[in-house]
Amino acid sequence: MGNSTFSGPIERVDEFCWRIPRSYKPTMRVDGLIFASEELMAHIRGDQAPEQVANVATLPGIQQASLAMPDIHWGYGFSIGGVCATDPDQGGVISPGGVGYDINCGVRLIRTRISEEDLAGRLTDLVEELYASIPAGVGRGGPYRFSADELRTLMAEGPRALVDRGLATVEDVEMTEAGGRLEGADPDRVSQRALARGANQCGTLGAGNHFLEVQVVDDIVDEFAAAAMGLQRGQVCVMIHSGSRGLGYQVCDDALRDLRGVPEKYGIELPDRQLACAPVLSPEGQAYVGAMRAAANYAWCNRQLLMWQAREAFARVLGTGWQDLGMELVYDVAHNIAKCEEHLIAGKPRQVWVHRKGATRAFPSGHAEIPEKYRHVGQPVLIPGDMGRASWVLVGQPGSMQRSFGTTCHGAGRRMSRTRAVKHAAGRRIDRELLRRGVVVRAHSRRGLAEEQPDAYKDVDQVVDVVAAAGLSGKVARMRPVGVIKG
């Protein structure tokens, strides 16, 4: 995370939006806009993430504004929580820093027919079974092995390739953003090194902020939308947060190496080398797009296989099939991705490349890309918080299309660096503290627990309040964690 306080100008636009004016830097092409409350902005000013928002505003072809969500914090090139749209017809660029190393890191939510009371006396057994059976931790492989050709199929097709293997249902695929498949994926653009790293990691959780949580719905705000999603108070749900593992990391690493010197080739001046980019329509830009889409499809397969293992673990502990337990996918959303989408700009529809780095798509009701089941309420938005407080389900609102290219926040957002969080946890037992809050947690690393302690994150309720008040997404349901698996 950035260490120094942002010293540039920040002007208040309204109660929940702030502007870094285009005049701050001569190379800025648009303003920077940050969605935040006054309380959150006081913290955001203490980090260099706003400088990254200003830097992104210098990218060729950027439209309207360089945006950031209330969970903004320092990232690679782009801030985490950063959003921008570029127009390829105006020399618009694609930037790996605007997607992130963990391509298509995202979240999926599974509902069940189980109530919290049904788990009385069995929660610890369930958490132990999930911990024992779902691979987690740095570099850890899983039970599924795929040959290079099979990996290419997964990267081209996404989870629909798992249906015939009996590891996904048609409904699972339908309830995944983009149907779990970005068209135009080019597995041939993925290096042998990336393939090797991904060969045994599909269906693994990884480490860092990735998790599998058993949650209980403790509040319903929008009964209509909750009913559409099959959510009700006291219901047990499962939330999974993971991405493209070593394969996606390597795709990003390869791209950043390949793009070294490319901005100069096209006469692009950058304020930060971490913003390495290429015109979308250039050979270099298209090479990254093809590889990024392939990694994104792999990530959807990863979360599908994690869900499948969770279903099997629940079935073993509760002694009945997952279908009988009603373990159906509510939705799956990406929050590290770039997509070509149609948006209204100056009153005209344009095809632009929307970079969402630690930010979630939030299309409103009626949008053609939302599954028909949810089209009358809006796209489900899944916002994980921290291990000790809560996570949220929201729905996209019309304001997101008007203000943020159909985008909202992606989580609570860090307020401590990992190093500072470890120091803050010195002499404490985070697992015991969480147990006193009613949360059973199992982790492969005590340091990892320290890094991910609740104090390391902003209060997700405050973050969600901002995106709701700004009209980007509407509150549906709040879930509190009762069981957590960490890498």
Tens digit of pLDDT at every position of the chain (487 positions): 456 889 999 999 999 999 999 999 999 999 999 999 999 999 999 999 999 999 999 999 999 999 999 999 999 999 999 999 999 999 999 999 999 999 999 999 999 999 999 999 999 999 999 999 999 988 788 899 998 899 999 999 999 999 999 999 999 999 999 999 999 999 999 999 999 999 999 999 999 899 999 999 999 999 999 999 999 999 999 999 999 999 999 999 999 999 999 999 999 999 999 999 999 999 999 999 999 999 999 999 999 999 999 999 999 999 999 999 999 999 999 999 999 999 999 999 999 999 999 999 999 999 999 999 999 999 999 999 999 999 999 999 999 999 999 999 999 999 998 999 999 999 999 999 999 999 999 998 888 899 999 999 999 999 999 999 999 999 999 999 999 999 8
Contact 83, 67 (CB under 8 A): yes
Give the pLDDT of residue 121: 93
Give the pLDDT of residue 2: 53
Instruction: Give residue for tokens 């048609």.
Output: 170
- Name 442's bridge partners: 485
pTM for this predicted structure? 0.97
Distance CA 455, CA 379 (A): 30
Class of domain 11-486: alpha beta
Give the pLDDT of residue 161: 98
> C-alpha distances in angstroms, 422 versus 191, 221, 419, 449, 453?
35, 35, 5, 9, 9
Contact 121, 258 (CB under 8 A): no
Give the pLDDT of residue 3: 61
Helices marked H in 259-349: 262-265, 283-318
Q: What tokens were used for 325?
A: 């337990």
Reported as type and span, the H/E element at residue 391 is: strand 391-396
> C-alpha distances in angstroms, 168 versus 45, 159, 300?
45, 7, 11
Q: In sequence order, which residues have a C-beta less than 8 Å from that of residue 33 and are 6 or more positions away?
A: 13, 17, 18, 19, 20, 53, 65, 66, 67, 68
Give the pLDDT of residue 476: 98
Distance CA 314, CA 303 (A): 16
Reported as type and span, the H/E element at residue 129 is: helix 123-133
Distance CA 114, CA 101 (A): 36
Closest CA to 414 of 395, 378, 386, 445: 386
Distance CA 388, CA 366 (A): 35
Contact 203, 144 (CB under 8 A): yes
Q: Is 335 a catalytic residue?
A: no
Where are any strands of DSSP class E within 175-273? Answer: 211-220, 235-242
Q: Which of 241, 343, 367, 410 is catalytic?
A: 410
Distance CA 302, CA 366 (A): 29
Amino acid occupying residue 189: R
Give the pLDDT of residue 141: 84
Q: What are phi and psi of 276, to 5 degrees?
A: -40, 135
